[in-house]
Structure 1
Amino acid sequence: MNTKDARAAVEAAFAQVAPDIDPAELTDAARLRQDLEIDSLDFLRLVETVAASTGVSTPERDYHRLDTVGGFVAYLAESA
C-alpha cells in the first residue's frame, strides 16, 4: 500500500470513529491523544476500523508507532 492509500484509510477511519474531528486537523504531526483528544477506546476503534478496511492488523506492541497521524499512515503503508 502506498502512502496516499494509507492516508485515505486513516482519514476514513477517523471520519467513522471520530466524525467531530475536522479533517484539516489530521496533519502528520497531530498527536492522537494530546491534539485530537482520542481516548483509549476510540484509539482501539481506529485500529480495528483500519484493520477491517485494509486487512492490516496492528499488534499491541506496535501501538506506540501510532501516536501521530503521520506515524499511523507510515505504519500502515509499511505493513500492508
Structure 2
Amino acid sequence: MTMTPAQARQRVAEALARVAPEIDLADVEDDVDLREELDIDSMDFRRFVIELCQALAVDIPEADYGRLATLGGAIEYVRERVASA
C-alpha cells in the first residue's frame, strides 16, 4: 500500500492532535524538532508514537523514534512503514 505525503501528513497531524489538541501544524516547518516547536515532553512524544502505531497498525521500534523527531521525518517514516506493511 502506498500513501501520499498529504495522507501521511494527515495521519501524523491526527496522532499529534490526540496527544495535544491545541497544536496547529499549519505553522510547523518540516525540519523543526517537534518536541521543541510544539512544547511536548517525552511522555507526550511517546503517546504520539503509540497513536501512530495504532493508526497505522504497525510497531515502531524505539530505535526509530529519532526519525519521528521532525514533522518531515515523521511523514517520510509513516510513508515507508505503510509501504512495507
Fold-level similarity (TM above 0.5):
yes
- Which of 12, 24, 35 is equivalent to 2:14? 12
- State the partner residue of 1:23: 25
- State the partner residue of 1:36: 38
* Structure 2 letter corresponding to 1:79: R
Output the aligned Cα RMSD.
1.3
* Structure 2 letter corresponding to 1:58: I
- State the partner residue of 2:5: 3
Rounded to whole Å, the distance in 2 between the matches of 1:54 and 1:29 is 22
TM-score relative to the length of structure 2: 0.83
Stretches of structure 1 that go unaligned for 5 or more consecutive residues are: none
Identical-pair percentage: 44
Stretches of structure 2 that go unaligned for 5 or more consecutive residues are: none
Larger radius of gyration: 2
1:25-50, CA deviations, whole angstroms, 9 ceiling, x for partnerless residues?
A: 33312311221112111111111111
- State the partner residue of 2:63: 61
1:18-75, CA deviations, whole angstroms, 9 ceiling, x for partnerless residues?
A: 1111232333123112211121111111111111111132100111111101101100
Q: 1:56 to 1:4 in 2, by over 3 A?
A: farther
Q: Which has the higher helix share?
A: 2
Rounded to whole Å, the distance in 2 between the matches of 1:41 and 1:63 is 13
